[in-house]
Structure 1
Amino acid sequence: MPRRAVRVASCAAVACATAFAVGTAGAAPQSDDKSAQPKPLNILLTNDDGWRGANGSDTPFIVTLRDALKAAGHNVVVVAAGTDQSGQGGRISQPPTKLELANPEPDVWTLTPGSPSDAVYFGLDEIFAGEKPDLVISGMNPGTNYGALINHSGTVNAALTALEFDVPSVAISLATDPRNWPEGINHSGGPAATYVTNLVKQLQDKSRRGQLIPEGVALNVNYPLVPGPVDPATGKPGSVLPPKGTKATSVAEGPFLTPDYIPVNGEGGRPGTYTIGLSANTEAAPGTDVRTVTDGYVSVSALEDDHDVDVSTSSWLRDLTRRLR
């Protein structure tokens, strides 16, 4: 479909520009003309882990990103769930559910028991009160959201919810190493937050007529964990290396998670209690988000809000509906 090709190409250009900015930091001369600098953005920041603990201590990655964006000069308001809402997809609370709004600190609002999409809905309707933010950012999530995981991710679907109101959005997730170096993600939080501030600046620099991202498109960013050399004293990496670069990617096809439901008592497929087993499939084709992150690059994918299909499928559907008349 021509419109889809144009949009993805535009976002690929954004990713290439971001790769240049991150890979050659300090190489390009900076203008001293303050009038040429991008204006501060009004940003709604959310996630699917919520804002929990004193000063967000139980959800450090949204705090790190909030602080980095504010340090870059942006006006940031956090609207997030008051509880962990991981894997909730695009769920929204239905009437007569009542939501409890809290304001634990300045410019931070929490909804309980709200979902990530609830937070965006509420933030746009009540906190910003009709004055749309310039950008919605969802993250940073501890753990990747790529491939088929985007269907179930609260992080990604919070960003997609913003598109319903024509607000450009970005989802950001961090890769982890749960087996060999689980604490590594803590070391990557700061560099990833810096990366996002650079991405925002690139979006501003490239925007035309004030449009940060092509209409109807959200960016899904997955930041890799690249371990440094192993420290002989601990047997673990002693540092995090920078990503190898940034690539514009497509979403990997096929299931990412393979379920395995094991009966605690009785036979499978019969009434009873089951434990849940999930195994991940990281095998993916070159050029996909899964493969790109596995190879140590930042993945930037363009996600559309309309769920349209290509021309060949549209023709098939028209033929089918003619037969049903």
Structure 2
Amino acid sequence: MKKRGIFAVLAAAVLCSPVVLTSSASASGPGATVPTRPLRILLTNDDGWRGPGGSGTPLIAALRDALRTAGHHVVVVAPGTDQSGQGGRISLPPLQLTVASPEPEVWTVTPGSPSDSVFFAFDEIFANQKPDLVISGINPGNNLGQAANHSGTVNAALTALEFGVPAVAVSLETPGTWQEGTAAAAKNSAGYIVDLVRRLETRSRNGTLIPRGVGLNVNYPVLAGPVDPATGKPGSVLPPRGVRSTTLDTNLFANFDYKPTSGSAGQPGIYTIGLTLGGEPAVAGTDTRAIQDGFVSVTPLEADRDVDGSTQGWLRGIL
């Protein structure tokens, strides 16, 4: 599908979607929206399902609870350990995976990757009937720009597209010095996803939630309210300023540098990895810029990685 067509469908389904502002308006609150029809949803992530009731991974637990409260049938299949930044890694024979079910309709795959979890879910849990939708997240920390290439959260969603099932990856901004803000925004971001799913249902074409081969990468901002003099921290989380349909930021999301701790630079030895995150204002229309401006970013991603006809013509001219 041409990019223009993808964005047209996305805009129709998403851009009018209201942002969940308060717990009373969230999908898990008294004013919960009713889905057009209950969906069978596979929920996964790259952080795993850890602790009783997902207490060690509260964001995926919050999203599961919100989707269930909205009436959907949700099955969690996630790594048994933290698999952040694993991209689309898969485990190959003769490796073995340990599968556990710590509670009803929750499965963990250890030491499986996010993609392993999706492959296992389709082969074993959903062997007789595919889910209607796969959602990956909520990830603590945004997956913007080129980081999407390396994100376990995003690649779990892209793996689902290989099975012809629509998928959404969800990430939440996590201010390092204000953990309370992330916790406060978790419920609202889960509520936004519930509402997004409802809108995808309402505007689906021939029962298709998202155009075939297309997934959505959702990033949700955390906006701080006025500082509370008593604590020195923001006293509230402000609602996002709206929703933007975006493209991936093409700037490097991070700068890596490698410093030798033994031997000389550029020679064999042991190197310490340094990481500096990008912080420059991004180009308008990109996912990074949307988050910088305080908007929810929704970026359509295609499962296939081939290119359009003009590039094919260039290649044929060389070959």
Structure 1 residues 59 and 26: CA distance shift in structure 2, 3 A: closer
Superimposed CA distance per residue, residues 139-184 of structure 1 (whole angstroms, 9 cap, x where no aligned partner): 0000000100000000000000000000000000001211x42332
Are the counterparts in 2 of residues 22 and 245 from structure 1 also a CA contact under 8 Å?
Answer: no
Residue number in structure 2 paired with 1:164:
162
Are the counterparts in 2 of residues 222 and 298 from structure 1 also a CA contact under 8 Å?
Answer: yes
Residue number in structure 2 paired with 1:31:
none
Could you tell me how far apart the structure 2 residues matched to 1:198 and 1:25 are? 13
Could you tell me how far apart the structure 2 residues matched to 1:26 and 1:46 are? 26
Residue number in structure 1 paired with 2:30:
none
> Which runs of structure 2 are paired with 1:1-325 in the superposition (5 Å)?
3-19=2-18, 22=20, 38-178=36-176, 180-283=177-280, 284-321=282-319
Residue number in structure 1 paired with 2:31:
none
- After TM superposition, the structure 1 stretch with the greater mean CA deviation from structure 2, 213-222 or 308-317, is 308-317
Could you tell me how far apart the structure 2 residues matched to 1:268 and 1:255 are? 23
Could you tell me how far apart the structure 1 residues matched to 2:153 and 2:23 are? 28
Are the counterparts in 1 of residues 157 and 168 from structure 2 also a CA contact under 8 Å?
Answer: yes
Give SS of 1:76's match. strand
The runs of at least 4 consecutive aligned structure 1 residues that moved more than 4 Å come to 21-27
| Matched AA of 1:103 | S
Give SS of 2:157's match. helix
Could you tell me how far apart the structure 1 residues matched to 2:263 and 2:161 are? 47
Aligned residues: 310
Could you tell me how far apart the structure 2 residues matched to 1:109 and 1:75 are? 15
- After TM superposition, the structure 1 stretch with the greater mean CA deviation from structure 2, 311-320 or 63-72, is 311-320
Q: CA deviation at 1:254?
A: 2.6
Are the counterparts in 1 of residues 35 and 198 from structure 2 also a CA contact under 8 Å?
Answer: no
Q: Which runs of 5+ in 2 are unaligned?
A: 26-33
Are the counterparts in 2 of residues 52 and 83 from structure 1 also a CA contact under 8 Å?
Answer: yes
Could you tell me how far apart the structure 1 residues matched to 2:233 and 2:114 are? 35
Give SS of 2:4's match. helix
Could you tell me how far apart the structure 1 residues matched to 2:110 and 2:244 are? 37
| Matched AA of 2:203 | K
TM-score, normalised via structure 1 length = 0.91
Give SS of 2:6's match. helix
Could you tell me how far apart the structure 1 residues matched to 2:53 and 2:146 are? 33
Could you tell me how far apart the structure 2 residues matched to 1:211 and 1:23 are? 28
Q: Which runs of 5+ in 1 are unaligned?
A: 28-35
- Aligned sequence identity (%): 59
Could you tell me how far apart the structure 1 residues matched to 2:315 and 2:239 are? 46
Q: CA deviation at 1:8?
A: 2.3
Aligned-residue RMSD, C-alpha: 1.9
Could you tell me how far apart the structure 1 residues matched to 2:171 and 2:61 are? 14
